[in-house]
């Protein structure tokens, strides 16, 4: 916790080192940033995931400021809530919350990788595997889904920032990025104001699906895999309107976890122009009633607990 305003927070965070490496030796950490609405119903599963890996991760939680609940003092989530603001689905406030989480995480110079998660996310592997994928296998690569599309493009972006429809992108809100990308997002005083202006009078701007991917497109960022490491089931026969399918307790099986880990029928996932043995390291959306079956499955299916 701190008493800084968003303006002060972003100013301090934008002055933090952008690149990997320091004059002294340290072990890089992964910042796990949870953007939630209230409680973390799957918290016990995540506590099992983090167990025994102190010093290799940091946790940040952005929740509704009216939420008064707190995890127990012996939880890794205790005291990890950052000063937060109200968010609304599809609105620019979601991106403001993402930038707030990144800014807080950048203040810790040990954080080199940054993963955005929700209360319905689960890890698909044990901590050692996820850590290795993010810090070793994918070192220097960020995972922001980026799809070329004219959907929701406005001429205002060309007028204000010279962003053409060809540069416009869409993608999953849930990203995994390195410190350089995190710093660009927090320091962005050029493109984000236009997104905020564009969405000021719109209820369903869905800016969270466009800001990060369009920013990297505008910056001509080369070290992006153009995909996310967080799985969501968008099967048109299973999804609910504008939301991916929510997995219930009755669906949680070893076969489900194995299928998602294997790419869920999407073939080999690639980055850096090569095939990756790990397609996804996180998955969503899992309902609160999946906690017990997930805890039972975790030792065999995910390798922890």
Residue 234 included in any domain: no
d(CA 81, CA 100): 12
Nearest to 59 by CA among 74, 78, 45: 78
The pLDDT assigned to 216 comes to 96
The pLDDT assigned to 43 comes to 98
Q: What is the CATH number of the domain that holds 211?
A: 3.90.550
β-pairing, 29-35 vs 57-62, is: parallel
Residue 249 included in any domain: no
| Average pLDDT of the segment spanning 124-153 | 90
Residue 123 included in any domain: yes
- Between the alpha carbon of residue 72 and those of residues 60, 79, 188, 265, the distances in Å are 16, 9, 36, 40
The pLDDT assigned to 61 comes to 97
pLDDT at position 268 over 80: no
- Each residue of 110-126: pLDDT tens digit? 999 999 999 999 999 99
Contact 144, 116 (CB under 8 A): no
- Each residue of 25-67: pLDDT tens digit? 678 999 999 999 988 999 999 999 999 999 999 999 999 998 8
The pLDDT assigned to 156 comes to 85
Contact 252, 294 (CB under 8 A): yes
Contacts of 32 (CB under 8 A, 6+ apart): 57, 58, 59, 60, 115, 117
The pLDDT assigned to 267 comes to 56
Residue 277 included in any domain: no
**What long-range pairs does 23-27 form, CB within 8 A, spacing at least 24?**
26/110, 27/55, 27/56, 27/110
Residue 260 included in any domain: no
For residue 274, name the pLDDT band (cuts at 50, 70, 90): low
Residue 143 included in any domain: yes
Nearest to 279 by CA among 259, 297, 252, 294: 259
Domain around 192: 6-228
d(CA 64, CA 89): 13
Residue 265 included in any domain: no
| Total-model pTM | 0.92
The count of domains in the chain is 1
């Amino acid at each position: 916790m701190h008493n800084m305003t968003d303006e002060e927070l972003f100013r301090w965070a934008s002055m933090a080192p952008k690149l990997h490496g320091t004059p002294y030796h340290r072990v890089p950490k992964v910042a796990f940033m949870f953007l939630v609405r209230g409680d973390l119903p799957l918290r016990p599963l995540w506590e099992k995931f983090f167990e025994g890996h102190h010093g290799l991760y940091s946790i940040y939680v952005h929740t509704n400021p009216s939420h008064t609940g707190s995890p127990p003092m012996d939880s890794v989530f205790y005291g990890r809530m950052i000063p937060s603001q109200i968010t609304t689905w599809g609105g620019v406030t979601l991106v403001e919350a993402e930038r707030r989480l990144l800014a807080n995480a950048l203040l810790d110079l040990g954080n080199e990788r940054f993963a955005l998660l929700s209360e319905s996310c689960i890890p698909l592997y044990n901590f050692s595997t996820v850590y290795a994928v993010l810090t070793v296998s994918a070192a220097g690569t960020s995972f922001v889904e980026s799809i070329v599309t004219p959907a929701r493009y406005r001429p205002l972006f060309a007028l204000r920032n010279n962003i053409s429809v060809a540069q416009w992108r869409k993608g999953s809100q849930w990203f995994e990025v390195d410190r350089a990308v995190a710093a660009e997002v927090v320091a962005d005083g050029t493109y984000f104001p236009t997104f905020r202006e564009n969405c000021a009078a719109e209820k369903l701007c869905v800016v969270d699906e466009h800001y990060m991917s369009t920013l990297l497109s505008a910056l001509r960022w080369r070290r992006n895999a153009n995909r996310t490491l967080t799985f969501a089931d968008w099967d048109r026969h299973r999804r609910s309107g504008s939301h991916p399918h929510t997995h219930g307790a009755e669906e949680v099986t070893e076969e489900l976890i194995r299928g998602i880990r294997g790419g869920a029928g999407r073939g080999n996932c690639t980055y850096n122009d090569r095939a990756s043995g790990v397609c996804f390291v996180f998955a969503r959306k899992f309902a609160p009633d999946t906690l017990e079956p997930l805890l039972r499955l975790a030792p065999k299916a995910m390798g922890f607990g």
